[in-house]
Amino acid sequence: MSLKGSFDGFVGIDVSKDKFDACGITGDEVKLFQFSTTMDRKGFEKLKGHLAAVSISSVLIGMESTASYHVNLFSYLVSEGYKVFLINPLLISNYVKMQLRKTKTDKKDAVVIAQFLLTNGDTLVQRATPSLVSDLRDLSRQRESLIDEMTSLKIEIKQLLNITFPELEHMAGIFTKSILKLLQQYPSAFALRLFFYTSLRVRHCNLL
């Protein structure tokens, strides 16, 4: 069975550091959506909203493999149950040359990736190993769970600091190693002031 019959939607995603562009097409190359959004949970959920038009099992998603920018979005989509493939950028580049496309923009990249999936996705699907895909989905779900836990913990820390040390957030990044180490010893403005006051008194006494 051809991919046109197996899938109702083909989604190409062009990833960069702070944003991603997405384009969805049908098997007849009718555009379902095309938009650009932020590379964060809000952007991920926006994409999921567009994908809701078709069932999870009938959507094929592809994105170019990057150094690291694709990891969060890829993990999110896999954990949600979507069939997602990382594609070697050279394959996309060669596909563009074969299609005689001379111009290249971010939005066009997303369109091209979607068209590449429609044309070559059957090869990607055939090469996918079910057990590896299942393992990857489990790992991605665990990763998403850990990210959610970390986000909740950061929110709790900020709420506590707003009570005990409200000045700190305006002075420095709370979650840097040096600040977290400082907070382990002096968790409030009062504790830090007391430390400096005691240190100054000791120093003053040593000078006498």
Q: Which domains does the chain have, with CATH numbers?
A: 3-128 (3.30.420.40), 142-207 (no CATH)
Nearest alpha carbon to residue 111 among 2, 206, 8, 22: 22
- The pairing of strands 19-25 and 31-38 is antiparallel
182/178 Cα distance (integer angstroms): 6
Is the pLDDT confidence value at 68 over 90? no
pLDDT, residue 96, reads: 83
pLDDT category at 133 given cuts 50, 70, 90 is low
Is the pLDDT confidence value at 200 over 70? no
Is the pLDDT confidence value at 1 over 50? no
Tell me the per-residue pLDDT of 139-152, one tens digit each, with 9 for 90 and over: 777 777 888 888 88
